[in-house]
Every structure is written in structure tokens, then in C-alpha cells.
Structure 1
């Protein structure tokens, strides 16, 4: 089973948080606040934070901007992963991904099933990699953000996590772009 290897030194990761909502503002962005509290509480660095409306092109543009920024290692988005006509965050993510992390959505569904039962089928949470940056699209509820962080991301974004984690392979995410 997984564990934290205390003999390894913790390595903070630089994480950007994007809330996708037609109605939220900085004053009432509880999901974004939840992610910021969780990631900084774990010792990571908040690299950037923003709120955008449900607009596929604008979301994809922001994701690409942060992926191109060497000061951002991970992008977490919250909101826009549902089934309604305005929910376009997943499509924006997939416009940007070079590789999708298929198991992220599966594991998130398993975690959600334990909390909200079959209502978990309404989430399209997903993860991927682009330009050497990890991207994760999370649902817009604070509870879903807590579950994704506490049960998955907290562990995978800790270099001490064994048997493996996302951080230790970060330097190799864009190796295909480098000249040999």
C-alpha cells in the first residue's frame, strides 16, 4: 500500500487555481478557497489564482498560459465539470492536454461514490499533462475539492509518497520536447 517515506525531503510544488463559474467572485469562491487552504496547508506554493466564466476558449487560453509559465507546475480548476450546457471545463482541458491521466477520473469516481453514492456519475473530473504541467479539472463544490485533494492529490503531489507519485516524474514530462 501507499505510504510517506519520511527519509525523503518534502518538495513544494507551485500550483495555480482556476475557478470556472458564471456566478462566483473572489468574495464567495468557496471551492477555490478550499483548494488554496489545502495546498498551502500541505506546504505547497500558490503560484496564481483566477476566476473565469464558463467559456471554453478562455479557459483553454488560461490553461495554456499557465502551462507555458515555468513558475507553475500544476493547475487545478474547479467548476464546469458537470453535464449542463454551460459546463465546458473538461472540453477546455482536453483541448490543451498532450496526455490524459485516465485513472484520475476513475479514482475520483471511486472516492466520490464513498461520499455521495451514485451521484458520482454526474462528475466528469479529469486530469492530464501539457507542456510539462499537470492539469486537473475538479467539480465546483467545496466537498468535491476536499475529496480530490485529501484522497488523491495530497498524496500524488508529495514526492515522499511511495510507491510512486507525480512529482518525481515532473522533470521528464516534457522530455519529448527537448533535443537529444
Structure 2
């Protein structure tokens, strides 16, 4: 039996983490953009934080949210590039129970039309940890907008068919989509 899509949006609790050595809450435009996108879509902001680009600070904040029952999704912006200070993938990969390889692949495919071959330097990734879905996005506004508008928004909407991530998250009562026959 296949996954049943919903007739209405199931609001999710989403936390936003900005990883940056230079931004603060006043000039964190990418974090604010993601908050605007998720609330406009009908979801709830569960929490917001900003940490410097340090593996252990990223991992500590994210681990705290993964352990919380009221956080179903985490959006991380920043730290996914190739500079010496970019460490979001290294912080997150050990925490993932499952990696969503298709997210990074699709993000880079979509980004290619916008930024050409520079997209190969994006280490955008996603994964599931303790029933919490985590998306790691580049820190630019354009990258966050592209990720939300082209991929994340639809996958966090229980009405999206044939499959979306809502049934895989903690505290949802939806049935995951079955394998294709």
C-alpha cells in the first residue's frame, strides 16, 4: 500500500541554526530568510541559534535539538564550503542515522543553472537523526532560497506526493511511502 498524502498541511516544528564566525542575530539574513519561509509555509519556529564555525559547537547545538521531542526538523545555514573554517558536514555526518544523498545531489543540480560549475564546491547535505530531519545549506541567501523553494518546502509538506519526509519524522502519524512495485 502506498503512502497516503494529506489533505491539509501538518505544521512541523523547525529549528534554525546559523553557522558563522561573522554574523549575529541582527545581520543573519539567511537565518531570517529560512524563518520567513518556514512560517509562511505554515510551520512553527521551534528554536533559533547562532554558533561559530566549530565542529563541536555545531554538533552540541544540533545534538541538543535532536534530543528534544518538540524539534522535528533542523535547518542549518553556513559552514558547507571548502574553506578551512567550513566544518558543518564534518560536524553532522557522525550524527546521522541515515544520509539523504539525494538532497545534495539535487541541490547541486538545481544550483548549476544558477552558478555554473561553482556548485561543485557546495557540500550541502541532509540526514535523519533520531527521527529529526536535518538540512545543511550554504550560508548565502540565494542558496537558502533555492533549497527551500525547490526542494525542502515540498518535502516538508504532507500533501506532497507520491512521497515526502513528514511520515519519517518523530511525532507524526503518517505512513511512510512503500517501495515502488
What is the TM-score normalised by the length of structure 1?
0.90
1:150 aligns with 2:149: yes
Unpaired runs of at least 5, structure 1: 174-180
Partner of 1:139: 138
Deviations 1:14-68 (A, max 9, x none): 1000000000000100000110010001000000001000110111111110000
1:58 aligns with 2:19: no
CA gap 1:17/1:171 in 2 versus in 1, 3 angstroms: closer
What's the offset of the Cα at 1:170?
A: 2.2
Distance 1:127 1:117 in 2: 22
Q: CA RMSD in A?
A: 1.7
Distance 2:12 2:171 in 1: 15
What is the TM-score normalised by the length of structure 2?
0.90
Partner of 1:19, secondary structure, is: strand
Partner of 1:45: 44
Distance 2:98 2:140 in 1: 26
What's the offset of the Cα at 1:111?
A: 1.1
What's the offset of the Cα at 1:98?
A: 1.2
Distance 2:120 2:136 in 1: 15
Partner of 2:94: 95
- Asked whether the equivalents of residues 99 and 127 of structure 2 are also in contact (C-alpha less than 8 Å), the reply is yes
1:8 aligns with 2:7: yes
What's the offset of the Cα at 1:7?
A: 6.5
- Asked whether the equivalents of residues 132 and 170 of structure 2 are also in contact (C-alpha less than 8 Å), the reply is no
Deviations 1:96-150 (A, max 9, x none): 1111111110000011111111111110000001111001100000000000000
- Asked whether the equivalents of residues 72 and 133 of structure 1 are also in contact (C-alpha less than 8 Å), the reply is yes
- Asked whether the equivalents of residues 11 and 158 of structure 1 are also in contact (C-alpha less than 8 Å), the reply is yes
Partner of 1:26, secondary structure, is: coil
Tell me how many residue pairs correspond in the alignment: 169
4+ residue runs over 4 A deviation: none
Return the structure number with greater helix share: 1
